[in-house]
A and B are shown apart, each in its own frame.
Chain A
């Protein structure tokens, strides 16, 4: 018996489900993997007017770490991919920001966490076109020159990592926490990073770093 199939019919990404459902808010609400990192749609205060874009590449202007960048990308391109240099006319090589990592590309590991209007967001679950007009902060935008932020300093001091691949995501989630709550408890720290995965298993030291950063004053 011969059977012809598309090569991978069984892999349904969370993103393609959301796209397929056509209603991003509902999809995200059903599937949101983490209580701590808000789904991009929830970070939005007012619903944007419906507007058709694409399917070909469109111009998108993004405000990243205080600088405006215009790229040309397909509307389906995720924010993390644009930050990391993907697109028809991508970010210039010296402007590419690879601090936000791709670990799962479906909103469960948190390695791609960035701040959008101050809230931690999985940038693999947000389309770049939806980030237009928002204030995007990546891990590269935290330190002033060599001056690290308190949480960055404490992550170094306490050895809150091993391979470091998840570190930018943890730092963004903790930056948002400390911005909102300068004296978090251990439980609040744990909740804040419950949407971030560290396979090397540095959590106990990350908690230490966050609590120490809060103590030293953010």
Chain B
């Protein structure tokens, strides 16, 4: 019987939770996890040697004979009508091979940096000259890049159809909020802001595209090779005319689904020039272009009883998604910890700052930092332990156990009992935040295993690796099943000729792909078992596989056949096994939390990270080392979010002032909080002077796989924001907590108490 499960799908680059119907496959299980030889261990990644020697090829590394370099010509204005475009001066330049309008005269631009035309030239230098030669005549229009200004009466309209620049408004209510506020022992009120953030993939968006007649091959920096194939198919006369390759890619974080404008533009330029074209965005174009995670300013009112019971929340959100409709989980009026009654008014404010794209756990880190700050404010108001406040209002067993574990490791008892009560100029504080994520798998992947007569095993999957370590389980699951070692199975991924392609969004890759690989491995095992049984003249049920790939009669080590011998009996073409996704092997819905300890210099406003602890469940762990790496990476990105990442828009010109890495600061080596501290059970409490990053995968025995890349990033900023609060007794409510904002918060606090 078909049944319904919850999973996340990616629609136009956005993760969305939906209920899907899945057919019942054969019952499947990951088996006794304690007996696994390869899966769940800390195995280095198979592509490691390629990555450390420079042999790993990214889309931007492809060099083809006669290849041209593509570049965008972009808008200088945040809002304008294009009166005329004169591409001919560029066209006439030696070395320029194709010039392509993206927008025509009469079209409008709605943000600075919006692509208007494109150039393909023999070198990037010539392409840059050609950009400068293009003559565009604009009729500039009034614009607004600041959400506050966008809401003022008479503000220019970003989209003519959206009155007051407020899109996507809505209200929801659960229970009698007003009565709850009246009966409350304590109330708090605050305005909290999570900033707009840029993806900053180190490899910019782009593709290298080549036509052979009507067939197109694209090397794409993408999270979804099959999506790219479909998009390019619209130009090539069908996806079957297209092959997309992505062996390695330099980061996506939610922004690289489909061929996008740059892929389509590269393909058109290549067609026009009759030569391969590589179009990688420049860093400035990348930062300007319409890829960013929305910010949110949220007004929160909370009411609680004396014992910490949250009675009501009254929330108004102002999401900042530029020209797109933005939402965060705060649009639900709370995050994870739910008050008894909830009222929310949600709205998205339009500005001339470009559109939005999914950014690692879309809408979740924003909600976490805002809601967790409000919860700590309430805990201080009630003079109760912030962890106790959360426990009072939430009783999920796994979550509570994760909180307790995180608290134990960080040394929660060392926190300031009263926020800001530490003496001295440099004050230390400890804070926490909580995470949740849907994730889950779906039927979008398949897997093929080919076993050769020479004993070779190749595991194929039409999936791409974003750096999470997909190859290790595409190999490892098969090796585990067949009694082989990891290096005996070759993983081939990153090519649309390898099978169905799953889009790597929503932490759905592993729960979608791993089950298909497992089912292919089971199919291979069953077929080989049948062959061995025939040779050994026993029933297949009597066969067991022992490490080394030996198939033998159960309990009789003398009666069996070695891997090499068995494979030699296969047909000339070898053995082909195939697998589809199976719902028994994947789960959605994980929890997680972070605890952080910081030191805040109250004279300079500088925040130093001393410790960050992440505790995260993800069901069956396929590779512990890489799962921990994803958690570590989440914590580092979260540190950047909490302390550094800040896009500056100029109200006068409507342009971004920091479309680069010098002033749009990412977490670097000096901010990263020290070394990785690997911990295994039994977990210990960190010494007060022991600094570093701790990642713990909480053992939640679901028996199924879930993704980990997004949940682990959700609560990091929240934990750091609350650690700062614990240190100095005032929240840096407008994130990130840059030194100027820390000092401003301290000044407000001192002014208020003076």
Let me know if B604 is at the binding interface, CB within 8 A.
no
Task: Please indicate the chain A residues that have their CB under 8 angstroms from the CB of B73 in the complex.
Answer: 7-8
Q: Is the CB of A106 within 8 A of B283?
A: yes
Cα(A166)–Cα(B201), bound, Å: 10
Q: Is the CB of B52 within 8 A of A156?
A: yes
Q: Is the CB of A101 within 8 A of B60?
A: yes
Bitwise, A155-183 to B at CB < 8 A (1) or not (0) is: 11111011111111001000000000000
Cα(A81)–Cα(B670), bound, Å: 29
Q: What 7 A-B pairs are tightest by C-beta distance, nearest first?
A: A99-B54, A201-B636, A165-B250, A163-B467, A162-B467, A156-B48, A164-B51
Let me know if A208 is at the binding interface, CB within 8 A.
yes
Given contacts A8-B74, A98-B57, A211-B675, contact A81 B116 (CB under 8 A): no
Let me know if B124 is at the binding interface, CB within 8 A.
yes
Cα(A1)–Cα(B80), bound, Å: 11
Given contacts A9-B76, A103-B283, A165-B250, contact A148 B52 (CB under 8 A): yes
6 contacting pairs across A/B (C-beta < 8 A): A7-B132, A8-B76, A8-B131, A105-B282, A152-B53, A199-B251
With A7-B75, A156-B45 given, name 12 new contacts (CB 8 A): A4-B136, A4-B138, A11-B284, A86-B125, A101-B58, A106-B660, A138-B54, A163-B203, A165-B58, A168-B54, A191-B670, A199-B251
Task: Please indicate the chain A residues that have their CB under 8 angstroms from the CB of B669 in the complex.
Answer: 189-191, 193-194, 196, 203, 206-207
Q: Is the CB of A201 within 8 A of B634?
A: yes
Q: Is the CB of A84 within 8 A of B635?
A: no
CB of B653, distance to nearest CB on chain A (Å): 7
Binds A, one of B209-217, B625-633, B728-736: B625-633
CB of B553, distance to nearest CB on chain A (Å): 39
CB of B251, distance to nearest CB on chain A (Å): 5
Let me know if A143 is at the binding interface, CB within 8 A.
yes
Cα(A161)–Cα(B8), bound, Å: 27
Task: Please indicate the chain A residues that have their CB under 8 angstroms from the CB of B243 in the complex.
Answer: none
Interface positions of B from 40 to 57, Cβ below 8 Å from A: 44-45, 47-49, 51-57
CB of B484, distance to nearest CB on chain A (Å): 21
Task: Please indicate the chain B residues that have their CB under 8 angstroms from the CB of A191 in the complex.
Answer: 669-670
Q: Is the CB of B632 within 8 A of A205?
A: yes
Task: Please indicate the chain B residues that have their CB under 8 angstroms from the CB of A156 in the complex.
Answer: 44-45, 48-49, 51-52
Cα(A148)–Cα(B67), bound, Å: 32
Task: Please indicate the chain B residues that have their CB under 8 angstroms from the CB of A97 in the complex.
Answer: 54
Let me know if B63 is at the binding interface, CB within 8 A.
yes
Partner of B662, one of A33, A81, A205: A33
Q: Is the CB of A167 within 8 A of B123?
A: no
User: DSSP majority for the A interface?
Assistant: loop
Let me know if A2 is at the binding interface, CB within 8 A.
yes
Q: Is the CB of A109 within 8 A of B202?
A: yes
Task: Please indicate the chain A residues that have their CB under 8 angstroms from the CB of B633 in the complex.
Answer: 162, 200-202
Residue of B nearest to A93 (CB): B63
Task: Please indicate the chain B residues that have their CB under 8 angstroms from the CB of A165 in the complex.
Answer: 58, 202-203, 248, 250-251
Q: Is the CB of A199 within 8 A of B138?
A: no
Cα(A40)–Cα(B89), bound, Å: 35
Residue of B nearest to A205 (CB): B676
CB of B690, distance to nearest CB on chain A (Å): 12
Let me know if B749 is at the binding interface, CB within 8 A.
no
CB of B199, distance to nearest CB on chain A (Å): 8
Interface positions of B from 126 to 175, Cβ below 8 Å from A: 131-132, 134-140
Task: Please indicate the chain B residues that have their CB under 8 angstroms from the CB of A208 in the complex.
Answer: 675-676
Q: Is the CB of A105 within 8 A of B283?
A: yes
Given contacts A186-B675, A199-B202, contact A5 B76 (CB under 8 A): yes
Bitwise, A132-148 to B at CB < 8 A (1) or not (0) is: 00000011101100101
Let me know if B637 is at the binding interface, CB within 8 A.
yes
Cα(A14)–Cα(B250), bound, Å: 23
Q: Is the CB of A207 within 8 A of B54?
A: no
Cα(A159)–Cα(B662), bound, Å: 27
Cα(A25)–Cα(B637), bound, Å: 34
Let me know if B27 is at the binding interface, CB within 8 A.
no
Q: Is the CB of B674 within 8 A of A204?
A: yes
Q: Is the CB of B83 within 8 A of A2?
A: yes
Let me know if A123 is at the binding interface, CB within 8 A.
no
Task: Please indicate the chain A residues that have their CB under 8 angstroms from the CB of B55 in the complex.
Answer: 99, 140
Partner of A74, one of B60, B125, B676: B125
Q: Which of A106, A138, A198 has the most CB of B within 10 A?
A: A198
Q: Is the CB of A1 within 8 A of B661?
A: no
Task: Please indicate the chain B residues that have their CB under 8 angstroms from the CB of A100 in the complex.
Answer: 54
Let me know if A21 is at the binding interface, CB within 8 A.
no
Let me know if B701 is at the binding interface, CB within 8 A.
no
Bitwise, B374-394 to A at CB < 8 A (1) or not (0) is: 000000000000000000000
Q: Is the CB of B139 within 8 A of A2?
A: yes
Let me know if B65 is at the binding interface, CB within 8 A.
yes
Let me know if B315 is at the binding interface, CB within 8 A.
no
Cα(A108)–Cα(B139), bound, Å: 35
Cα(A88)–Cα(B61), bound, Å: 18
Bitwise, A1-40 to B at CB < 8 A (1) or not (0) is: 1111111111100000000000000000000010000000
Partner of B61, one of A7, A81, A84, A139: A84
Cα(A209)–Cα(B51), bound, Å: 15
Cα(A86)–Cα(B629), bound, Å: 35
